[in-house]
Amino acid sequence: MRAIINGTRIKNRKTLHNAFARQLSLPEWYGRNLDALYDCLSEITEDSEIILRNPSLLRETFGTYAQMLETVLRDVCDENPHLRLTVEKDREPKKEPADDAAKTEMEE
């Protein structure tokens, strides 16, 4: 299993916890908070990876909650040999090529 938590898409705690629940098939009783996340992840017995993509955006959106999330994920991955955490470097936003009219305006 794999869960990708992407800072460009996750905008609130509900979306964050729903992403974990859906992508890792967490049980119905998952309480959608960090304590419940730790409990559920500690019980995973299938090799799984959690990928934090664009983590600076998660930190910007969630502040200290994002720091606590990373701590919970690191701790549970240290405890559960079936879990691996990957924190990717932030990706640069894709730049759209300027159209000819915009190029002309910039050159003038």
Whole-number pLDDT of residue 107: 44
pLDDT along the chain (108 residues), means of 10: 94 96 96 97 97 95 96 98 94 55 43
The reported pTM is 0.81
Q: What is the pLDDT of residue 89?
A: 86
Q: What is the pLDDT of residue 93?
A: 58
Residue-level pLDDT at 108: 43
CATH number at residue 47: 3.30.370.10
Tally the domains of the chain: 1
Amino acid residing at 47: D
* Structural domain of 61: 2-107
DSSP letter string, 38-73: HHHHHT--S-EEEEEESHHHHHHHHTHHHHHHHHHH
Looking at residue 33, its pLDDT comes to: 97
